[in-house]
Amino acid sequence: MSWEVPGMRSRTWSFNRGIARDLLRRYWLLWAVYFLGLMLLLPVSVMSSSRNPYSPDRFFNYAVLSAVRPCVLLSAVFTLLCVMAAFAWMYSMRGSAAMGSLPLSRPSLFLSSYLTVLGMCLAAVAVTALLTLAVAVPSGMAEAGPILIWAAVTAFGVIAFLGFAVFCAMLTGNLLLLPLAWLLIGCAAVAAEYCLRHLMAYFVYGMAVRRESLGVLSPLCRVVEGLSVSSVFDEAGLAIPDAYRLNDVGLMAIYAGCGLVLAMLALLLFRRRALERAGDAVAFDTLKPLFRFCMAVGCAIVLPAAVFDWRFNRSLFGPGAAVFLAVLACISAFIGWYGAEMLMCKTTRVFFRSWKKLAVLCAAILLFFVAWENDFFGYERRVPDPAEVESVSLRFLTLDEPENIEAVCELQRDIITHKAAHESAGEGQYYEITYHLRDGSTLLRNYRLAVTRDAMLDPDSDFRRMSALFNCREAILERTLGDFPYEDMLIAGGAINWQTEAGYQHLPLSSDEAQKLFFDALLPDLEAERIGQQYFFYETPEQYTDATNVTIEIIGMPLDRNDTDRQYYLSLTVQTYSEKTVAALREDYAIDPVPYGTIYPPDEYSLLADAIVFD
């Protein structure tokens, strides 16, 4: 005989409609503003831009896909605001006590709030997409594909950033610190890497600042830089009209999956969160050492980079910079360490707590600077084997001929040998070298070369040798004929421009004149490396002695006369040794090129003042 009484089925994990109705009643205006923002960014903005014949957004598909990025960013901000509203009770003792007295389980309370916010945001996305489909597709303005892609990626953004926001909400007990934690964690990887590289560039010779390998770990920064729209090309390499592709769609799907995982982690934290933590900077005791460490390390990276860049940007490099930055980093770590202690303890009397751990951290910081300054990891000495290099890029120029790759590697070795001279120079110019290795990886270095009068006048200096690489044969042909397919186009015209003491002179060329000048003079001189040189960085003697006062422009059109959107343009500065071009200018146009320096010699502020002499 059993005395058990049948009980009601447990509903501890059920969705509570009362909480959902309360959130909708109190915060409906927030979701209305979000919906209005989506409407302004997609249908309203797209419809208005598609009516402008001078805007690239007149292509409806392009305009729809271009709206994805701002809509995802809008979703990120509004999901944070919704989480702050839905879980605001956690950040006050009165609210925590009131919610804790309700006959609801923690999972039910969390899921009701989370699913309500998620449902309302996704509903706003769905309604916006349906309205856009109802207007655009029947009128023939666009296909449904781009609009559905917009809806899917924006929904991914909602799921991703809602999970991220609710996870951040569980970490702190202070409502004002929640958006700060959301922003810092969302951009931490990119900000830390950039500031650390920027810091190390002052004492690690060759450190490249702009390279980012951790961008995918910072979703906020990745969305700002990613989600771009690119054209779709056919097999012939031509862009298909009104066909575009949205980049990083797969990454947004991965972010959405990570958002669901973070939401589950937030639920686990919520079940173990003490209600008495309302008002605390950190909601869990186990996270306090991590918070203190992150604050100290973050300050040790960011503050020295900001202060040094503001005050000593162009005056201190090498060992002196390493010593100064090491001291500054330790001071910054002290500020971050005890600043975190003050936030957690809510008092300024914290300076005798955990000082031994801070001392260990400062010792680790000093060891870091010593190791990198002495090239313990071999970063500064690394020069790739030319046989392992497929191509090398010098800013906007790519070289792949073996002799040029060998020349770049040899120049890099000499630059490293002359490191002390380059770091101690008062004035310098940065040159970036990017090696594309055969295994698919890249090696990036950014060198500051000394720019002095001796370096400008010495043809064997590192500065002059680097400048010469930009005017080697391969560089000249890529820079001039790389985007000027003269064999597959019509030469439509051109012009001759030259400077005289009387001022600027301009002579238009007909199609026949431009064609004759190009094939009879410019092209032979290009193939013989007698024209096409350019001087990009600072001053060199060749800028005054070899370059002339004459510039020739050639304009080309596609062979297909229906292709009116494309135009080819070539501009060349005539050199004193441009044999055929100089002869053609003198015989056919009575123009006598003269060295540029005879018209505009180096002024008194130039490092080459009085160094360039003309007979």
All structural domains of the chain with their residue ranges: 17-189+215-278, 287-373, 386-469, 483-599
Query: Long-range contact list for 172-176, CB < 8 A, 24+ apart?
Result: 172/280, 172/281, 172/282, 172/283, 173/90, 173/91, 173/277, 173/278, 173/279, 173/280, 173/281, 173/282, 173/283, 174/91, 174/279, 174/280, 174/281, 175/84, 175/88, 175/91
Structure tokens at 41: 């960014």
Which of residues 336 and 243 earns the better pLDDT score? 336
CA distance 446 to 448: 7
Supply the DSSP string of 442-456, one letter for each residue.
EEEEEEEEE--HHHH
Structure tokens at 363: 């010792």
The mean of the pLDDT values for the chain is: 85
CA distance 525 to 586: 16
219 pLDDT higher than 50: yes
Helical H segments across 236-286, by residue range? 249-272
Mean per-residue pLDDT for 221-231?
84
CA distance 168 to 148: 30
Q: Give the helix/strand (H/E) hosting 222.
A: helix 219-225
CA distance 167 to 189: 17
How far CA 15 is from CA of 7, 104, 113, in Å, comes to 20, 10, 9
Q: What does residue 227 show for φ and ψ, rounded to 5 degrees?
A: 50, 40
Radius of gyration over every alpha carbon of the chain, rounded to an integer in angstroms: 32
CA distance 511 to 499: 23
Q: What does residue 273 show for φ and ψ, rounded to 5 degrees?
A: -80, 130
Residue type, 477: L
Residue 536 pLDDT class (50, 70, 90 cuts): low
How far CA 282 is from CA of 89, 173, 336, 447, 528, in Å, comes to 16, 6, 15, 43, 70
Mean per-residue pLDDT for 156-174?
94
CA distance 451 to 400: 27
User: What is residue 308's predicted lDDT score, i.e. its pLDDT?
Assistant: 81
CA distance 263 to 114: 8
Q: What does residue 497 show for φ and ψ, rounded to 5 degrees?
A: -120, 135
Residue 6 pLDDT class (50, 70, 90 cuts): very low
Structure tokens at 571: 């501009």
256 pLDDT higher than 90: yes
Which regions of 456-561 does DSSP assign to beta strands (E)? 489-500, 503-509, 547-558
CA atoms within 13 A on the CB side of 131: 17
CA distance 253 to 200: 35
Mean per-residue pLDDT for 42-61?
62
Tell which residue, 108, 81, 84, 102, has the closest CA to residue 270: 108
7 pLDDT higher than 80: no
Task: Give the model confidence (pLDDT) of 576-592 as tens digits.
Answer: 999 999 999 999 999 99
52 pLDDT higher than 60: no
Contacts of residue 349, Cβ cutoff 8 Å, sequence gap at least 6: none
How much of the chain exceeds pLDDT 70, in percent?
Answer: 88
94 pLDDT higher than 50: yes
Contacts of residue 300, Cβ cutoff 8 Å, sequence gap at least 6: 329, 330, 332, 333, 336, 365
How much of the chain exceeds pLDDT 90, in percent?
Answer: 42
Residue 54 pLDDT class (50, 70, 90 cuts): very low
192 pLDDT higher than 60: yes
Residue 369 pLDDT class (50, 70, 90 cuts): very high
Let me know: does 256 contact 121? Beta carbons within 8 Å: no
Highest averaged pLDDT of the listed ranges 57-71, 179-193, 400-414? 400-414
Task: Give the model confidence (pLDDT) of 125-151 as tens digits.
Answer: 999 999 888 877 766 566 778 889 999
How far CA 331 is from CA of 101, 338, 354, 362, 461, in Å, comes to 47, 11, 16, 9, 40
